[in-house]
Amino acid sequence: MKLKNPMLVVTDIDRSVEFYKKVFGLHIIMDFGANKTLTGGLALQTAETYKEFIGASDISFGGNNFELYFEEDDFDKFADKLKEYDIEYVHPIMEHSWGQRVVRFYDPDKHIIEVGENMKVVCKRFLDSGMTPEQVAKRMDVPMKFVNACMR
């Protein structure tokens, strides 16, 4: 068995396609009308057809038990790009204890999106600041093997 795609149910598929295109640069690679697959493997399905599939008359949006996670090499540039859009944030940019900066926000249907700084970039940022590889491993709570790989 092989996992194929995460699929989000959306109220307006064209609006969602436009959102993922503008914010993340994703584009349609398969178009089945009520279902569209975007680059990266994300699939979108219209709420109307999904209701038929599962035999339900109601679909809830805005849950906080699931998120799509993206990583970005140039986190600062991405954060600046977000300012161009009317984004509803779950929380502003924050830095986790291991040093990775992240931001969470909603897509048009209240699905949570997390964008995190690429962990190799975090490692390189710490190394470039003058920390020793051993200090970086401790700060990030990662094995030395990871830090050594980032240094190559």
Write the CB contacts of 150 (distance below 8 Å, at least 6 apart in sequence): 120, 123, 124, 127
Phi and psi torsions of 143, nearest 5°: -70, 155
Low-confidence ranges of the chain (pLDDT < 50): none
pLDDT of residue 131: 96
User: DSSP code of 139?
Assistant: H
pLDDT at 152 (0 to 100): 87
| Strand 35-38, strand 43-46: pairing | antiparallel
Query: What predicted TM-score, i.e. pTM, was given to this entire model?
Result: 0.91
